[in-house]
A and B are shown apart, each in its own frame.
Chain A
Amino acid sequence: MPKFSFTEKKDTRSGFGAGLSELGKKNDQVVALCADLTGSLKMDVFQKEHPDRFFQIGIAEANMMGIAAGLTIGGKIPFTGTFANFSTGRVYDQIRQSIAYSGKNVKICASHAGLTLGEDGATHQILEDIGLMKMLPGMVVINPCDYNQTKAATIAIADYNGPVYLRFGRPAVPNFTDSNQKFEIGKAITLNEGKDVSIFATGHLVWKAIEAIDELEKQGISAELINIHTIKPLDETAVINSVKKTKCVVTAEEHQQNGGLGDSIAQLLSRHNPAPIEFVAVNDSFGESGTPDQLMVKYGLDSKDIVAKAIKAIARKNQ
């Protein structure tokens, strides 16, 4: 009996678009900027509803980040939209100086993150963005798992005063979380309680992990699954309490192993509660063209990879 079900698949970027539209209606300080990807980011609804508060920047992401920083002076809450690659690596210094170090209330909203961007290939499949952004002092890093959660997160970050990186993706994925959920920044969500292994997953890997725990249960393994939608600040209490119980860990993310969620959790546990840890992540490699499903299998980010790593982590614990 599967533990979670869904009625439809939806893309997380559409959750962002829906959240932005709702925000626009209730908060007139919210403004949106886009670098020639309005349709891809699903910002066209906001653009149509609030043309005076929408800024088409053109293909000039550095300028977009600076303009967003400037808009905060006067009380605006800017949401920038472009692909994750152009939201981070391309404009790292602009974010670092004009937004993070300057403490500006900019929401950097990034779509098409990771391998599931698919056929466009490695130039666009950024797998380093979480690491880049979590290193910046004061930057909040959020990677929600489905449409409903992305929508809720988009709305919630407008009420938080400070820079935020919101990461989401291109493909339709199971939409299984509550449509009326209240999103709490930094508050991990336990999806399944278990005693043999803790699985910490973020973004698209949360559904893969749900598939994995069903398979593990068939094999008689009780896996705890926690959705880490906020990578920074990390819900340290949730992580430590879970690992105290299970004593071994799998982390799962659509990102490089270096610098990702797994790094954050390993660092935390090494200080407080050392335990065997296995990483489901891209291992020091660029992606390539292919369908999202093919890529997730080839690069070891599938549910069966989570199952295998869970079994390995438990074996190491029992050595």
Chain B
Amino acid sequence: MSSINELANICSQVRRDIVRMVHAVNSGHPGGSLGCTEYFVALYFNIMKHRPQPFNMDGTGEDVFFLSNGHISPVFYSVLARSGYFDVKELATFRKLNSRLQGHPTTHEGLPGVRIASGSLGQGMSVAIGTALSKKLNNDSCTVYSLHGDGELQEGQIWEAAMYAAANKVDNLISTIDVNGQQIDGSTDNVLHMGDLKVKWHAFGWEVLACDGNNLEEIIATLKKAQTYKGKGKPIMILMQTAMGKGVDFMEGTHKWHGVAPNDEQLKQALSQLPETLRDY
């Protein structure tokens, strides 16, 4: 278990990785990646019981994570590399030809740590439920985690999955929604208002927790609290409030950096706000 300070240092490095990766190929999604950095670092460096090497697709006897909003692949790749799934140098291949680090995550190129392709939204919760059921059949008491965007909740399949998980007591699943209130065309309230998410998930029969997803101590405490609800007959949902673009002042809180890469000057400005705590790849 790393201390909060150590985890904060990892977050700073992961954010450097994210902006450098998207800058290098002038494409990718920095906004959601920066916003979910604390969640990923908490999960992979503190919460999950997982085995980076040798990577086991079946995830037997370990906690398993699914990224449903696959466009935030930069944060996923950085955290996978920094937690030992593959060499951090490989981050330099992000979105380039012949890379295992595709624009959206995939199992197709055999990147360790990825168990499903994602990118087309709304599919990851169903997959996570399937693996949670598989763990139950195998008497594997480990946990399945999944992350989804708030805009992603506009996909109907999410609600099919939500209904199924509650009706069938899939209580070894801890899902999280990145509630940053932003999507490509603007704020989620303006694009398609989703109403009261807490009330909705309650009504669908889930245990619902909420937290500030950019506060490391709070996200860790919330994930630990979520674990105490395991095995009690309900799937568990964390509504995690984040700021899109968190950690880089000019990117923070706006949908404009959802899928846009910084230019050379903007990269310099971003990196000046993010100390190099581990070594850059």
Contacts and interface: CB of A to CB of B under 8 A. Distances in A.
Interface stretch (B154-162, B183-191, B246-254, B263-271): B154-162
Nearest to A93: B120
A59 B135 CA distance: 24
B126 interface: yes
B58 A66 contact: no
Given A58-B163, A74-B138, A97 B125 contact: no
Contacts of B175: none
A66 B117 contact: no
A52 interface: yes
A67 interface: yes
B118 interface: yes
Nearest to B124: A66
B164 A67 contact: yes
A73 B157 contact: no
Contact of A97 (B119, B131, B132): B119
B133 A69 contact: no
A70 B125 CA distance: 9
B161 A73 contact: no
A103 B131 contact: no
Contacts of B123: 62, 66, 93-94, 97-98
A170 interface: no
B116 A98 contact: yes
B99 interface: no
Nearest to A100: B117
Nearest to B66: A70
B130 interface: yes
Interface string B207-239: 000000000000000000000000000000000
- In the A-B complex, the 5 residue pairs with the smallest Cβ-Cβ separation, listed nearest first, are A70-B130, A66-B126, A74-B134, A63-B160, A60-B160
Interface of B: 57-60, 64, 66, 106-108, 115-120, 122-135, 137-138, 140, 156-157, 160-161, 163-164, 167-168
16 contacts: A60-B157, A60-B160, A62-B156, A63-B126, A63-B164, A66-B126, A67-B130, A69-B127, A70-B130, A70-B133, A71-B133, A73-B130, A74-B131, A74-B134, A74-B137, A104-B116
